[in-house]
């Protein structure tokens, strides 16, 4: 493809600005003409604003020929509907945008709806009219809610009325057909079925044959938060939109976008450009609300920043009929959110001439963009408002919540009189995005489920070696079984279960509330025994502590007693162990042991009887029960909440401690009558491993269960954990009970009887047993996202507000592998550490080093400034300083930067420049610290994070961590041990500086500040 091409963009809004910005990045484009453009577009690289009559097709075509324009991109639909593409094609100029006949898919809604029907494209039921009385009769007699009234022609985005009732729909019909509210555009009206659901936009590039879709986006039409107030041209958007499932996206590609392009081609109407499908996600799948024949606004402004490919190359391929999927690639695991700033009076009117401030501040931020919709420049160069929608602030981030927070923060930062903007853009999608993409795991909180499963496999042979006559089964089930008859006794099977309470004890200890964890202890053991159909008979406890506190211990044992009463079993004994060397003062641990009995013929699970079609009945939980608390505590830390704070999810105003310490339900008394009825085939206790790992423990091979989460109440605490913690669907289902503390399986003919016997537990049918096919998961949960979202959305605003807090902008200077850089990246991108900073630039004085690859993998901009190209240190440092300032850096970290900095640079960044040294300063300064440590024979060394001064390794000490030195150490071994300490200490020091807990005084000493 030739370089030095010229292109023309027709239009002058935010959409056209985003297109111009993206095209300017192409090495094939030399000049970008824009007509009429706006002041913001005019500031982009390669852009020239021109004044031609864009409504005069011939004038535009002749101008393009004269200027040797290679490609014309048409933004607004009105020019396509007038045939601009036809005029350009006639003289051999490529146009990215369809001809007039294809633009009818947007310009004529009557034609478009008929086209959808002809080609079996899913859409709302409808009928068109030119007579108002006939239209009103249809509204009143249609077998569906015919409450959507559309002017068939182009009405500047204002020709759609979504009525609340028949009267409003009839009034809209009269306005359009009788009163001629939209002129010629309203001579025909389309009356449509009112669909309910979420609206999503799906756009695609096409050359008339091939369709390459973009990620789905969601626009926000109403002027005010919560979708209140009048409609607008769009107050913001985000992408990708997670409300369309993967299957639904594929369906839209094939059943909507490809069908439309194929249908147009069959009717000899080639479509070249962007095809936009406005969709409603209905219970019956996505349906088309409308087609547009061009890029959407504001969707374009959040889609194009995610495009990795050369936009010019893609557009040329569309025009030349050579489009293929490999030409289009996107940034992965990145979300974009855009917030429109509108002028005073919008949408009824607009205010012009207000001075806009703060735009350049936002543009300097990493992954932040500002696209202009309606701006102008004053005679003295000030940026002014010049329309209803003024600008859009766009931010990219690894999570949708963070992208929304950054975009909203940017919108708040930009100032002009009368500014309006929504603070809830993207909030609808945040819950679903967390369920799909949430990265916080149980493992990240220190609990490795896979390791636990592996341990069972490793120890099984050893455990089996202890078997004696009477042992039944092996480890891995809910309880241990012993056949007393086989051992020579005339008694039934004994079932034993043992468990603890886990880190829920940490909460009890911190809250000084010990009376409920004893109930948990009993529950965890006896519920496991119940899983084998056994009635719990007796219980023993084990209480271990550092120092025995009679008050604490008595509260715990009273809880055990209460648990035994609820379980109907005897507390026959226990053990108290006081071990000061094992536990810290005030800490304790618990273990419990339950023994139950069951007749061998009644032993559960009856795996040989469970079959396809059996019913799964759920027993509601009381809360988190006693599993997943390491993750719960991590989420609480992420939320910066105390156990004494009122829980934001509590429906009764209880504190976090009170809500989280709700005891585990004991199902004995409600289950025993069911067990004796012989109606059930299995009972599974939902403990560690959640729904997806506990239910398979009672199933035979080759069968699984299909559960419907809409059938049970997913408790508010789980929505809070998922949203605030960023815990995805898979991790929620394999860590928590999600509202179901146990399940029973029975035959369909016993369903009603079992549910009735369990009515005290509010039991409900939640699924079916199914034969597994095609590697389907053994536990499949449908409608989980929908069930969770209603609770999750209650906390979205708080989450976004917390994420909107400004982060200190950090630049890191490196020379090599960047292991300390990686530690800083991991810490700043981990929300649980709350570092209060983000790395916005990494500069290396050497090219090709591993540290640069680490930064690029994390999506952090990099810059190579080779010191060998400079004659002196200060000249090099000045260019480094300029790049740091350009990126908005506030703190500079040296991470293996092998250059001595000039006095100029150190003084420029004094108090904001830190380094890490591999020894415990002030000992062993210089480049050979590890060798010096070994030569002097010291027994302790470590690392030091310090402020940088002109004298090497002499600045005020911020953080230190020690490591031992062993007689057998070499420099290499010691270096690796110290490096691990460095990876912990450096992020801690950065957090202290970023959170302003410390600052460097003028005299070079360290000042510690009090926490708020």
- Residue positions annotated with a catalytic role: 917
Q: Which residues have C-beta within 8 Å of that of residue 462, sequence separation ≥ 6?
A: none
Residue closest to 374 by CA, chosen among 336, 344, 410, 333 = 344
- Tell me the H-state helices in 568-654: 629-638
Written as six digits, the tokens of 954 are 């002499």
For 875, the enclosing helix (H) or strand (E) is helix 873-886
Written as six digits, the tokens of 362 are 């936002």
Peptide bond into 240 cis (omega under 30): yes
C-beta of residue 839 within 8 angstroms of C-beta of residue 860 = yes
Residue closest to 835 by CA, chosen among 809, 813, 858 = 809
C-beta of residue 277 within 8 angstroms of C-beta of residue 256 = yes
If you search the block for the tokens 């219970």, which residue do you land on? 283
C-beta of residue 241 within 8 angstroms of C-beta of residue 217 = yes
Q: Backbone phi, then psi, for 999, in 5-degree steps?
A: -155, 160
Q: Backbone phi, then psi, for 919, in 5-degree steps?
A: -160, 170
C-beta of residue 281 within 8 angstroms of C-beta of residue 256 = no
C-beta of residue 392 within 8 angstroms of C-beta of residue 236 = yes
- Tell me the H-state helices in 289-351: 299-303, 311-320
Residue closest to 568 by CA, chosen among 616, 630, 507, 526 = 526
- Please spell the DSSP secondary structure of 458-478, one letter per residue: HHHHHHHTT--TTEES-TTSS
Q: In this structure, what DSSP letter does residue 837 have?
A: E
Distance in Å from the first CA to the final CA of the chain: 60
- Please spell the DSSP secondary structure of 74-116, one letter per residue: E-SHHHHHTTHHHHHHHTT-EEES--HHHHHHHH-HHHHHHHH
Beta strands in 148-259 (DSSP E): 148-151, 160-162, 189-192, 198-206, 211-213, 218-219, 222-224, 228-231, 236-239
Give the β-pairing of 375-377 and 383-386: antiparallel
Cβ-in-10-Å burial (0-12, 13-18, 19+) of 966 comes to exposed
Q: How far is CA 472 from CA 483, 496, 529, 592, 678, in A?
A: 7, 11, 14, 21, 21
C-beta of residue 206 within 8 angstroms of C-beta of residue 271 = yes
User: What count of other Cβ atoms lies within 10 Å of the Cβ of residue 382?
Assistant: 12
Q: Which residues pair with 376 in a beta bridge?
A: 384
User: What count of other Cβ atoms lies within 10 Å of the Cβ of residue 711?
Assistant: 15
Torsion over CA: 860, 864, 867, 871 (sign): negative
CA dihedral in degrees (403, 407, 408, 413; nearest 10)? 140
Extract long-range pairs of 507-510: CB within 8 Å, 24+ residues apart. Answer: 507/629, 507/633, 507/643, 507/657, 507/660, 507/661, 508/661, 509/586, 509/587, 509/588, 510/643, 510/657
Residue closest to 535 by CA, chosen among 633, 467, 602 = 602
């Amino acid at each position: 493809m030739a370089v030095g091409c010229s292109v023309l963009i027709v239009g002058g809004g935010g959409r056209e600005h985003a297109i111009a910005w993206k095209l300017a990045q192409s090495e094939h484009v030399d000049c970008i003409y824009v007509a009429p453009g706006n002041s913001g577009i005019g500031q982009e690289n390669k852009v020239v604003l021109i004044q031609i009559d864009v409504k005069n097709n011939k004038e535009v075509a002749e101008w393009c020929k004269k200027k040797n324009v290679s490609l014309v991109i048409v933004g607004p639909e009105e020019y396509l509907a007038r045939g601009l593409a036809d005029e350009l094609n006639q003289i051999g100029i490529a146009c990215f945008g369809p001809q007039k006949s294809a633009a009818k898919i947007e310009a004529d809604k009557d034609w478009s709806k008929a086209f959808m029907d002809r080609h079996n494209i899913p859409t709302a039921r409808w009928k068109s009219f030119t007579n108002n009385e006939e239209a009103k009769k249809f509204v009143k007699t249609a077998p569906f809610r015919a409450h959507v009234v559309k002017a068939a022609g182009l009405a500047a985005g204002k020709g759609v009325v979504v009525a609340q009732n028949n009267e409003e729909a009839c009034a809209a019909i009269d306005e359009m057909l009788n009163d001629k509210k939209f002129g010629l555009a309203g001579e025909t009206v389309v009356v449509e079925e009112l669909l309910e659901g979420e609206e999503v936009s799906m756009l695609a590039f096409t050359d008339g044959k091939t369709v390459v879709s973009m990620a789905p986006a969601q626009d926000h039409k109403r002027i005010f938060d919560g979708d209140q107030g009048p409609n607008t041209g769009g107050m913001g958007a985000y992408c990708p939109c997670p409300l369309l499932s993967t299957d639904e996206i594929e369906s839209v590609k094939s059943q909507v976008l490809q069908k439309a392009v194929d249908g147009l081609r069959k009717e000899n109407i080639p479509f070249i450009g962007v095809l936009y499908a406005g969709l409603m996600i209905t219970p019956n799948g996505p349906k088309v609300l409308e087609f547009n024949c061009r890029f959407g606004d504001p969707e374009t402004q959040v889609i194009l920043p995610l495009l990795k490919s050369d936009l010019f190359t893609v557009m040329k391929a569309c025009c030349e009929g050579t489009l293929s999927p490999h030409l289009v690639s996107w940034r992965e695991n990145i979300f974009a959110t855009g917030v429109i700033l509108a002028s005073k009076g919008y949408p009824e009117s607009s205010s012009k001439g207000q001075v806009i401030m703060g735009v350049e501040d936002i543009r300097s931020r990493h992954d932040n963009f500002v696209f202009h919709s309606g701006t102008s420049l004053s005679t003295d160069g000030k940026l002014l408002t010049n329309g209803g929608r003024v600008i859009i602030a766009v931010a990219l981030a690894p999570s949708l919540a963070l992208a929304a927070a950054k975009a909203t923060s940017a919108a708040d930062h930009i100032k002009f009189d009368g500014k309006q903007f929504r603070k809830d853009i993207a909030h609808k999608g945040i819950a679903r995005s967390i369920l799909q993409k949430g990265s916080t795991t149980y493992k990240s909180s220190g609990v490795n489920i896979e390791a636990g499963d592996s341990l069972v496999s490793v120890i099984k042979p050893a455990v089996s070696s202890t078997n004696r006559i009477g042992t039944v089964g092996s480890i891995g089930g809910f309880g241990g079984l012993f056949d007393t008859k086989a051992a020579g006794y005339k008694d039934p099977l004994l079932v034993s279960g043992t468990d603890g309470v886990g880190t829920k004890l940490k909460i009890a200890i911190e809250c000084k509330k010990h009376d409920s964890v004893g109930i948990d202890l009993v529950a965890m053991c006896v519920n496991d025994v119940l899983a084998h159909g056994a009635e719990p008979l007796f219980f023993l406890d084990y209480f271990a502590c550092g120092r025995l506190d009679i008050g604490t211990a008595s509260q715990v044992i009273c809880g055990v007693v209460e648990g035994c009463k609820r379980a109907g079993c005897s507390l026959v004994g226990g053990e108290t162990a006081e071990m000061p060397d094992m536990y810290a003062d005030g800490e304790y641990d618990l273990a419990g042991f339950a023994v139950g009995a069951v007749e061998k013929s009644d032993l559960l699970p009856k795996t040989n009887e469970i079959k396809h079609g059996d019913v799964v009945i759920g027993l509601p939980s009381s809360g988190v029960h006693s599993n997943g608390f390491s993750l719960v505590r991590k989420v609480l830390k992420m939320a910066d909440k105390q156990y004494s704070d009122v829980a934001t999810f509590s429906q009764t105003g209880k504190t976090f401690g009170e809500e989280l310490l709700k005891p585990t339900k004991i199902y004995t008394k409600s289950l025993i009558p069911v067990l004796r009825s012989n109606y059930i085939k299995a009972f599974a206790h939902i403990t560690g491993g959640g729904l997806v790992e506990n239910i398979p423990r009672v199933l035979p091979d080759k069968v699984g269960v299909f559960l419907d989460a809409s059938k049970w109440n997913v408790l508010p605490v789980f929505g809070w954990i998922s949203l605030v913690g960023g815990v995805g669907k898979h991790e929620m289902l394999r860590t928590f009970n999600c509202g179901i503390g146990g399940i029973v399986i029975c035959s369909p003919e016993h369903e009603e009887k079992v549910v009735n016997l369990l009515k005290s537990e509010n039991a409900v049918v939640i699924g079916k047993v199914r034969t597994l096919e095609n590697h389907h998961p053994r536990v499949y949960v449908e409608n989980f996202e929908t069930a969770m979202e209603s609770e999750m959305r209650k906390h979205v605003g708080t989450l976004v507000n917390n994420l909107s807090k400004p982060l200190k902008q950090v630049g890191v200077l490196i020379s090599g592998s960047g292991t300390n850089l990686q530690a800083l990246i991991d810490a700043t991108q981990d929300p649980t550490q709350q570092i209060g900073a983000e790395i916005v630039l990494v500069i290396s004085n050497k090219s090709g080093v591993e540290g640069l690859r680490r930064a690029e993998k994390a999506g952090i901009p990099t810059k190579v400034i080779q010191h060998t190209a400079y004659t002196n240190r200060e000249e090099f440092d000045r260019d480094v300083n300029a790049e740091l300032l350009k990126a908005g850096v506030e703190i500079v970290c040296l991470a293996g930067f092998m250059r001595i900095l000039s006095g100029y640079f150190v003084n420029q960044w004094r108090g904001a420049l830190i380094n890490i040294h591999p020894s415990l300063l002030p000992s062993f300064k210089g480049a050979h610290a590890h060798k010096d440590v070994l030569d002097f024979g010291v027994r302790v060394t470590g690392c030091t994070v310090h402020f940088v001064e002109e004298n090497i390794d002499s600045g005020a000490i911020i953080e230190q961590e020690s490591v031992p030195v062993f007689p057998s150490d070499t420099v290499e071994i010691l270096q690796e041990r110290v490096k691990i300490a460095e990876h912990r200490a450096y992020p801690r020091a950065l957090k202290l500086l970023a959170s302003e807990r410390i600052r460097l005084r003028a005299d070079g000493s360290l000042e510690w500040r009090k926490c708020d």
